[in-house]
Each structure stands twice: as C-alpha cells, then as structure tokens.
Structure 1
Amino acid sequence: MMEKKVLITGITGTLGSALGELYLKRGWKVHGATRQSIAQHPACSHVITNDQSSIDDALTLLKIEPDLVYLNAGAIEKEIGAMGEPLSEVTQSITTINYTFPAVFALEASKSSQKPMDIIAIGSIADGSPSAFGPVYHASKAALHYFIQGTSPILGYANPNIKLRLYRPGAIHGPLSWAPVNRLNEKGHKVRAKRCKNAPSAEKVALHVEKFQKSGKWVTNYDEPISFKFLKFFFALAPNLYCKMQHWVWRRASKFKT
C-alpha cells in the first residue's frame, strides 16, 4: 500500500504544526510549505520553502501530487498606521496569502490533477461580518469563503478528481489570538482576553479538522459563538445599521478614538 501524502501550507504556524504532527502520527508523509527559509521542521517529513504568491508557486507544490491538501497559511494584521488604518503593503501581502494564492492553487489543481485530491481551505469564523478591528483579515477570509463555496461545484464537475472544501476555525489558543488587540483600548482588550483565554488548543482543533476531513462534508466550523451568529445575521439584514454600530464601537473600543 502506497504511503499517503498530505501537503500543509503554513506548516510553522500554530494550526499548521498541530496538523502536521497529527498526520505524522497517523503514518502519512507530511510535506510542509512555508515562506521561511528553513531546512527542516518537526511537524513534517519534508519542508518546502515557497512564497505562495504566484501560479508558478502553486505548480511547484502540485508536483508533490498530494492526496490531501490543507491550504492553511494565513496572516493577521499586526502592523497598522498611526490612526489604526490598514497599511497598503500589509493589505497586499495578507490578501495574497489568505485568499489569492489558495484560489490560484485550487484552479491549477483542477487543471492538472490525474488522481483524487482532497483540498481543504482553512478559513475563519470571522468572515460573516466586517470589523473595524481587523478589516483586511476579515475581508480576505470572506473572499476565500465566497470563492471556495462558489467554485467548489464548478471544479468538482470540471475535474471529478478534485474535492474543494472549507473549514472555519475560530480563535486558537496562542500568541496569534491576541493579534487584533493592536487597535483596542483597555476596555476592548479585556473583552478580547476572555476569548483568548477560552480558545481551544491547536491540537484539539486539529483533531476536529481531521474528523471533518473524514466526514465528507463540504463546510463546517469549530463552535461558532452565538455573538458571531448574531453579528452575521445583523450585517446581512441591516448593513447600514451595522455600519453605524461599527462607527459607534470604534469610538468606544479603539485606542484612537476615546
């Protein structure tokens, strides 16, 4: 029996490492892609340094001919302008890694794959409603979700070997869960602290991701908080009122308008 191969982008990240370690334990050959120049990593069998920004980068990764792919690499806004505004370079970089490259990879896979390939894009629960505290991250993940769910049936019929799916995790315990606090004042910071403290470990989320992968479902998420569900429906049903609320929250919870 041939050894199964999984490709995990963002292998050095919190969830990427947990996924890699899990699949190594399961006996898979784990190929981990990273934008860092490193020779090896404990969460994978082989490290591939790849910019994950172009069609050529996608084709390089597809040469591995993986059975399973986790498009997990992502970025959160850690740098912001003097008044909390997004930076142009950061916006371009985050959009590329969070949305553009996963989309390009899926399209190229559908052109070339001659064997079954299960592609799971890792999205985010923070996609259903915009936020002034992470606008670029939210926008890039929302774009990814729309693309995966809209393109999945097209690619599935164009190439029956391809199965394109979406997993939506929430905050994962670790330093990255704190990233949005760069725009929050002390009151907002305390609200975020509760969510960070209660966030599940990457190992627990990885097990949930594996369960999803085996289930055959097209989309799922990790315990979406009731507050997120409310905001998602609020935004969909009353977008103008939702925008007014965002202005109100910015004045009260940001470091820049108090």
Structure 2
Amino acid sequence: MKKLIITGHTRGLGRALAELYLQRGWQVLGLARGRADMVSPKLRQVRIDLADGAALAAWLSSGLLRDFLADAGSILLANNAGTVSPNALLGRQRPSETLSAVALNVTAPLLLANAALAARPARVPLDILHIGSGAGRKNYPGWSVYGATKAALDHHARCVAAEGHENVRITCLAPGVVDTAMQGEIRAADEADFPMRPRFAALKEGGGLQSAEETAAKIAAYVESARFGEEAAADIRDFWH
C-alpha cells in the first residue's frame, strides 16, 4: 500500500498534493494546525502546531506514525509546511517570527525525516521530499531567515544522501513561484522591511505565478521519475524545461 505523510495539507501546494495522491488511491496522513475540508476514507488528519517542537516530538513518540506505516509498501514523506516570515531586513526582524520559522521550516522536517526512517517497515522504499526554495540558493534582501532555513534543508538532504540508506531517496526541491496564500503574505509586506515586494507584486500582476495544482502534478511526476534523488538539491523548473 502506498502511503503519503504530508505537512501543511490544508491549503496551497500541500492541499493540492494531498488531493492528487488521494485521487491516485494513496493513504494520506496530513499534519497541520487545522483540518482540511477534504472528505476521503483514505485521509487521516492530525491537528498539531509543527512550530511547537515539543508537541511534535511528543506525537512522534506516541507510536501513531509507526502504526500508520505498518502495512506500507512504499512511503513518501513530503515536508511541505513552511513560513516566509519574517519578511524583513536584519535589525527589523521580530524574534518570535524567527524562532517560529526555524522550528517550522527546519526542526519539523528534520524530526519527521528521522522518525519516518525509524518507523518504516524493513526495506520498504522511502522517498523524502523537502519543499525547498531558490531563496536558499540565492541572496535576497529581507530573506536572511527564510533563505537560511531553506539552505538548511538543502544540506540536510545532501548529508542524508551521503549516508547511503537502503531504499531511501531524498531531495530538497524548489517548486518555483506558486500562487498561494504565502505569496499574498509576501505582497502584503512593508517595502521598507522587504525591498523585494514590488518584484512579487509584478509576478502576480503579470501572470507569472504557477497554480498549486499545476505545480503539484509536476512534483508528483518528478518524485515518480528515476531522476528523483539524483540531486539532493534540485529545482522543478530544471526538470520541466
């Protein structure tokens, strides 16, 4: 049985991915602060604040993840949940937003990747997908925190790949610029804090954003391909050129 564990499945790209895999008959375990209004006997939802490391660690210790994976024939972990805040230059960043960003963007994916490998049945194929960003590979003013967290996922993928685990593939994949609520948050930022705001406003106005559904389909095709895992840090736009 094919099983997907996905974070942030209630909206945006995470919801599009969850819906796509449900349509394909996968069992899906969604982790998020809220609940999605999707109705499917194949969907299980866990309400949890993934930025609360102690709460996530406690849930991972409960054995529920191991129970979900017990009869899996293949497993995909999609670490999708994330935040761009603080959209601000150094010296103008709120400490609470930085703490939350590191917990959600870095700590949660690392904990889940470790737990998924520990809980998988012996030799069952495990694919680990970190949703990365070009911001982790380029220098953008106002995104020192966001960029650093995404760069951390790139390097985590590289190190895990170097460990050579049996039947494990891992990639941190930049999905391109997707039309989600996160983009709305970026466009709403104060330009004094985030000088790149006009660039993202222009992308929206010029039709330069991909839909979540289109991006989810491309990501799923990439994960299913033999190329997945060949590059620890990849960009979906290089696959679909």
Structure with greater helix percent: 1
**2:49 paired residue among 51, 61, 66:** 51
**1:42 paired residue among 38, 42, 52:** 38
Aligned-pair identity (%)? 27
3-state SS of 1:46 partner = strand
> CA separation in 1, counterparts of 2:200 and 2:184?
8
- The residue number in structure 2 matching 1:200 is 210
> CA deviation digits over 1:86-139, x for unaligned, max 9?
111111111111111111222233334223222211111221123222221111
In structure 2, relative to structure 1, the CA distance for the partners of 1:209 and 1:59 (3 Å cut) is: farther
3-state SS of 1:223 partner = helix
3-state SS of 1:193 partner = helix
Q: Give the root-mean-square deviation of aligned CA atoms.
A: 2.7
> CA separation in 1, counterparts of 2:12 and 2:212?
6
- The residue number in structure 2 matching 1:27 is 25
> CA separation in 1, counterparts of 2:167 and 2:195?
50
- The residue number in structure 1 matching 2:176 is 170
Conservation of the 8 A alpha-carbon contact between 2:178 and 2:210: yes
> CA separation in 1, counterparts of 2:45 and 2:97?
25
3-state SS of 1:48 partner = strand
Conservation of the 8 A alpha-carbon contact between 2:86 and 2:93: no
The within-5 A match list for 1:145-184 is: 145-154=154-163, 156-157=164-165, 160-181=166-187, 182-184=189-191
Q: Which has the greater radius of gyration?
A: 1
- The residue number in structure 2 matching 1:251 is none
Count of residues in Structure 1 that have an aligned counterpart in Structure 2? 216
Conservation of the 8 A alpha-carbon contact between 1:55 and 1:108: no
The within-5 A match list for 1:83-102 is: 85-102=92-109
Conservation of the 8 A alpha-carbon contact between 1:145 and 1:166: yes
Partner amino acid for 2:171?
A: R
Deviation for aligned residue 1:25: 1.1
> CA separation in 1, counterparts of 2:39 and 2:161?
29
Conservation of the 8 A alpha-carbon contact between 1:51 and 1:57: no
Deviation for aligned residue 1:215: 0.8
Deviation for aligned residue 1:43: 7.2
In structure 2, relative to structure 1, the CA distance for the partners of 1:12 and 1:211 (3 Å cut) is: same
In structure 2, relative to structure 1, the CA distance for the partners of 1:32 and 1:125 (3 Å cut) is: same
- The residue number in structure 2 matching 1:233 is none
Conservation of the 8 A alpha-carbon contact between 1:79 and 1:90: no
Per the normalisation by structure 1, the TM-score is 0.74
**Structure 1 unaligned residues grouped into runs of 5+:** 225-258
Whether 1:118 aligns to 2:124 is no
Partner amino acid for 1:176?
A: M
> CA separation in 2, counterparts of 1:177 and 1:87?
20
- The residue number in structure 1 matching 2:235 is 221
Deviation for aligned residue 1:78: 5.5
Per the normalisation by structure 2, the TM-score is 0.78
- The residue number in structure 2 matching 1:190 is 198
Conservation of the 8 A alpha-carbon contact between 2:20 and 2:216: yes
**Structure 2 unaligned residues grouped into runs of 5+:** none
Conservation of the 8 A alpha-carbon contact between 1:123 and 1:144: yes
